[in-house]
């Protein structure tokens, strides 16, 4: 496995291949990321992962400076998973000048849910993904594959629309969320949890399952269901941002006849202690 830090060397190495399969990450890797690598290996003739903590997607009060940088450990995990190339640029390499050109998601998708509670987040994500696609795919002669996890459900939808609207020659693959034995969605931020918080953290996905059960049972007053779910989580000491049921196709609120199993997703975000967790379950 090669670890590359400059764009020039990355393009030089990738020129030997036709069909890259790419997994962008911010490092601090866990088994969920490695599942993406294993999926990517089935798609192209070279598997590429990027490790870059993207300042553009952090709000001023968020954990950019303290976000774990674990490059050596990450590279060991990626090599064991069969990754071929790791692109780990410095901030100066990827943003040699201030990134004043940016990609904005449409408000109907980018300003709801995560975008509402983290203003500008999807602009940061869309901009760095667009740039990383240019870095990794510019030398490709065949199919180009990009692999993302479904745990960041809204992010995956934003990237799919970005690729579609800019007519990028990239196929986006979504991979199911990896979970611990308890059912807790794997996340880089789980490392911030205390032992007690980690035990409690499963309550977020349990709250989503309760929402799903109510909807499947015929209750369609979502406002009341969601308020009750948030109150129940808050009573356990959480600070919920949202617990909601949306249409998979566009993350809008389902209406009347649209409560169809196979077309919905329950999404949640809540803070336990100092750590904000997100999760989702399709149904």
Q: Which helix (H) or strand (E) holds 171?
A: strand 171-175
DSSP 48-113: EEEE---GGGS-TTSSTTTS---HHHHHHHHHHHT--EEE---HHHH-SS---S-----HHHHTST
Is the dihedral angle over the CA atoms 27, 186, 154, 241 positive or is it negative?
negative
Active-site pick, 5, 30, 33, 228 = 33
Query: CA-CA distances (angstroms) from residue 162 to 9, 118, 261?
Result: 27, 19, 27
Mutual angle of helices 121-137 and 7-14, in 10-degree steps: 50
Residue 238, phi then psi, degrees to nearest 5: -85, 165
Residue 178, phi then psi, degrees to nearest 5: -85, 140
* 143 vs 169: CA distance, rounded Å: 8
Q: Which of 145, 156, 149 is nearest to 34 (CA)?
A: 149
Q: Is 257 a catalytic residue?
A: no
Q: Active-site residues: which are they?
A: 33
């Amino acid at each position: 496995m090669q670890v590359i830090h400059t764009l020039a060397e990355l393009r030089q190495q990738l020129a030997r291949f036709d069909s890259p399969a790419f997994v962008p990450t911010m490092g601090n890797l866990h088994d969920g990321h490695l599942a993406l690598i294993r999926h990517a290996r089935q798609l192209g003739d070279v598997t590429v992962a990027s490790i870059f903590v993207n300042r553009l997607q952090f709000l001023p009060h968020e954990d950019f400076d303290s976000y774990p940088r674990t490059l050596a450990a990450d590279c060991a995990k990626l090599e064991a998973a069969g990754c071929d190339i790791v692109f780990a640029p410095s901030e100066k390499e990827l943003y040699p000048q201030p990134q004043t050109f940016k990609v904005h998601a449409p408000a109907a998708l980018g300003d709801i849910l995560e975008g509402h509670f983290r203003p500008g987040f999807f602009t940061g994500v869309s901009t760095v993904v667009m740039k990383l696609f240019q870095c990794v795919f510019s030398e490709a002669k065949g199919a180009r594959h990009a692999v993302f996890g479904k745990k960041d459900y809204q992010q995956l939808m934003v990237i799919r629309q970005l690729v579609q609207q800019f007519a990028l020659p990239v196929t986006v693959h979504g991979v199911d969320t990896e979970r611990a034995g308890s059912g807790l969605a794997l996340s880089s931020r789980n490392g911030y949890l205390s032992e007690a918080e980690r035990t409690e953290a499963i309550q977020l996905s349990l709250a989503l399952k309760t929402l799903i059960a109510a909807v499947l049972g015929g209750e369609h007053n979502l406002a009341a269901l969601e308020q009750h779910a948030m109150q129940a989580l808050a009573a356990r000491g959480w600070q919920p941002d949202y617990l909601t049921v949306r249409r998979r196709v566009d993350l809008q609120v389902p209406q009347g006849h649209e409560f169809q199993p196979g077309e919905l997703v329950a999404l949640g975000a809540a803070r336990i202690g100092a750590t904000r967790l997100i999760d989702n379950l399709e149904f």
